[in-house]
Amino acid sequence: MISKCLFPVAGYGTRFLPATKSMPKEMLPVVNKPLVQYGVEEALEAGLTEIGFVTGRGKRAIADHFDVSYELEHQIAGSTKEQYLSSIREVMAKGSFSFTRQSEMRGLGDAILNGRRLIGDQPFGVVLSDDLCVAEEGVLAQMVKLYKQFRCSIVAVQEVPDDEIHKFGVIAGEQIKDGIFQVEQMVEKPSKEDAPSNLAIIGRYILTPDIFDVIESTPPGKNDEVQLTDALLSQARDGCVLAYKFKGRRFDCGSVAGFVNATNYVYENLYSQE
C-alpha cells in the first residue's frame, strides 16, 4: 500500500567537515557500509521499494552507490572479494532508485516538497539517514503497520533529556494508545523552558500526500527555513498526525559523538566479517 520512500540528502553535513567537503555525509561508512544504505535497507524491509533521493550538488557518490560499478565488478568477478558486494547487490535487486535535486538548502520542508514529483499522490515514508535506527523490527516497518490502522501522517518520537531537547522538533498530545499520541502541539528546536514535552521527533516519518500543499503554504520558520514541523502542525490541526514512540535504538550520526557510538555498536553487534 505504501511503496515509496523519500530520502532528503541535500544537506552539507557541516558538522563533519572537512570529511564532508567533497563527500556526502550520507556516504560516511558506519563500519563497512555507508549510512544511507542502512536507511535504504530499513525502507526495503518495510516494503518501500521505490526509493527517491532529494540530492544537491556534490552528492553524485550516492547515485553511484546504488548503481553498478562495471570496472570494479568485472575486476573482482569470481574472486572471494565478490562477497563484500552482496549487501548492496541485494539492495539494488529489491529497490528502484530515482533522484531529484533541491537547488537551495531551504529546509527539510522544502526538500520534501522537491520530492513531490517522485512521490505523486500517495502516502510515503521519509528517512533522514543520519539517524541510524536499530531494532528487531525496523522502525519504518513498525510505522507502516501503524499507518494501515490509522491512515494519517506519523512521526517517530523518542524521549530525550532536557539538555538535548533544543536540537529537535518536539511534540505534545494526548496518548491514545500505549506509545501512540495524537499530536496537538509541535515546536521546532525549542529551549528547555519552551519544550511542550520531552518527546522529540527523529528522522522517520510516514506522510500523507496532502502534506505537499500544506508545505507550499507554510512560510519559512525557524532559521528562515521551511520547516516540516510547521507543516505537520497545520496537518495535525486540520486532521490528524500521530507520534509513535518506536521500539528500538537510534544513533544521531549527524553528530560526531553519535556517529562514533553507532560505529562501536554496529561493530560489536551487527558486523560480520563473512
- With CB under 6 A as the rule, give the number of residues binding ligand UTP: 20
- What sign results for the dihedral spanned by CA atoms 181, 129, 252, 195? negative
* Shortest reach from residue 48's CB to ligand UTP, in Å: 17
Question: Does 221 help bind ligand UTP (rule: CB under 6 A)?
Answer: no
Closest approach, Cβ 260 to ligand UTP, in A, equals 15
**Given 2, 4, 5, 13, the residue binding ligand UTP (CB under 6 A):** 13
**Can residue 188 be called a binding residue for ligand UTP (CB under 6 A)?**
no
Q: Does position 54 bind ligand UTP by CB under 6 A?
A: yes
Nearest approach, Cβ of 109 to ligand UTP (angstroms)? 8
Q: What is the DSSP string of 80-129?
A: GGGGGGHHHHHHHHH-EEEEEE-SS---HHHHHHHTHHHH-SS-EEEE-T
Pick the stretch among 104-112, 151-159, 172-180, 192-200 that binds ligand UTP (CB under 6 A): 104-112
> Can you tell me the distance from the alpha carbon of 151 to that of 171, in angstroms, rounded to the nearest whole number?
19
Of 41, 42, 50, 130, which one interacts with ligand UTP (CB under 6 A)? Answer: 130
Cβ closer to ligand UTP: 115 or 180? 115
Residue 115 lies near ligand UTP (rule: CB under 6 A): no
What does the H/E/C string look like for 13-44? CHHHCCCCCCCCHHHCEECCEEHHHHHHHHHH
Among 37, 102, 208, 218, binds ligand UTP (CB under 6 A): 102
CB atoms near residue 50 (< 10 Å)? 18
Nearer to ligand UTP, 196 or 220 (CB): 220
Residues 143 to 172 in contact with ligand UTP, rule: CB under 6 A: none
What would the grid cell of residue 159 be? 524521549
Instruction: By CB under 6 A, tell whether 19 contacts ligand UTP.
Output: no
How far apart (Å, rounded) are the C-alpha atoms in residues 105 and 121?
24
- Give CA–CA dist 29/125, Å, rounded: 23
Helices vs strands, H then E, count in the chain: 10, 13
User: Given the rule CB under 6 A, which residues bind ligand UTP?
Assistant: 8-15, 25, 54, 102, 105-108, 110-111, 128, 130, 254
